[in-house]
Amino acid sequence: MSNQKSSFTFSVTARSGEARRGILTTGHGDVETPAFMPVATQGTVKTLTQRQVEELGATIVLANTYHLMLRPGADRVASLGGLHGMMAWDKPILTDSGGFQVASLAALRRIDDEAVTFRSHLDGSLHALSPETAVAIQEKLGSDIAMVLDECVVYPSERAQVQRAAARTLAWARRCRAAHRRADQALFGIVQGGVDEDLRRESARSLVELDFPGYGIGGLAVGEPKELTRAMTEVSTQELPEERPRYLMGAGTPRDLVESVARGVDMFDCVLPTRNARNGTLFTSRGKLAIKNARYTDDPDPLDPECTCYTCVHFSRAYIRHLFVAKEATARTLNTLHNLHFYLELMRRIRKSIEDDRYEAFSHELEEIDNPI
């Protein structure tokens, strides 16, 4: 078994209620938490260069094992210097296990205790992902943080099904832990248990006994009501050790992030800022803005008058709308720069308000982020 602590540490440096301010150290540098990880699905944050991602202040990105194992392939990534070398990104990278996207994207999925077997959505080729291969692939990708293979159930599901998936996830976590070799890569466990409080507590407790260097909170933001997401997030963090980072997988809206930090979450990833950007939906301090709306045709204001990103410092809504309507790729780049800046700036403000021990007040000040404008 690897000695993961050789290059991975986490420490909580301040608290405000349940919200935690921390620092995560990896072989590729530090990550101030709470942190948001822009999604670089296929080895790039869509529409951006790595230089732009770095200039935005991102200190860690997430890449998707499912996509990368199919194309360009884990061995190819390894031969190109791992994800860091291939992408020329020398800061931390987290990879998911591939399990979630197998469930959502692949065809003909069959799951048993041994592995999940599926056909590629690209060419129909047959693949299997077992706990051991999920670890081996992520070791080839060379991420700083890898995730165990888990089974995620849809919402709603029968309790028995949720229980079976949680049990399998635990068994797989054990196998992943045993298979993991890279000392320069931390392997996180994943809490499952659906929206059943008892199952979730049980999943978390059993996982904690395996002593992972960090924990994902999985199986949420899959269609359940927000109140359940938040309750289950809280239940999960309550069972997780204080001194280990908690990563709420796949969340979420700016409000989701703020509420989850209040419940003790340290790390996030979500396609929302980047996907919305490409669709022309911008996050602003006053709420969401749909740039294709005709009301912006002559609007000389920036997307968000309070924003300091490259896009807002230089360009008007009218110009961005023009580029968007004219289908110029530059519009999607400018929108992505803005939305990621919004998320990363939100995290900076979250971290500051925890340091200042005024997180609850800060959360209330952010009412407008939920509105459409």
Query: What is the binding site for a second copy (CB under 8 A)?
Result: 42-51, 67, 71-72, 76, 79-80, 86-88, 297-298, 300, 310, 314-316, 318-319, 322-323, 325-326, 328-330, 332-334, 337
Beta carbon of residue 102, minimum distance to a second copy (angstroms, whole number):
18
Quick one: 106 or 115, whose CB is closer to a second copy? 106
Query: Is 238 within 8 Å of 203 (Cβ atoms)?
Result: no
Helix ranges (H only) for 27-106 are 50-55, 65-70, 74-79, 82-87, 99-105
CA distance 105 to 279: 20
Closest CA to 190 of 221, 161, 214: 214
Q: Which of 90, 96, 184, 196 is catalytic?
A: 96
Enter the DSSP assignment of 307: -
Q: Residues, the chain, total?
A: 373
- Please indicate whether residue 96 is annotated as part of the active site: yes
Beta carbon of residue 124, minimum distance to a second copy (angstroms, whole number):
17
Quick one: 186 or 303, whose CB is closer to a second copy? 303
Quick one: 43 or 214, whose CB is closer to a second copy? 43
Quick one: 238 or 297, whose CB is closer to a second copy? 297
Beta carbon of residue 52, minimum distance to a second copy (angstroms, whole number):
8
Q: Which of 144, 150, 256, 269 is catalytic?
A: 269
E strands along 192-322, which residues?
215-217, 246-248, 267-269, 281-284, 287-290
Token pair of 219, please? Answer: 């199986």
- Please indicate whether residue 113 is annotated as part of the active site: no
Beta carbon of residue 55, minimum distance to a second copy (angstroms, whole number):
9
Query: Is 286 within 8 Å of 368 (Cβ atoms)?
Result: yes
CA distance 318 to 294: 9
Beta carbon of residue 28, minimum distance to a second copy (angstroms, whole number):
16
Enter the DSSP assignment of 367: G
Quick one: 221 or 323, whose CB is closer to a second copy? 323
| Catalytic residue set | 96, 269
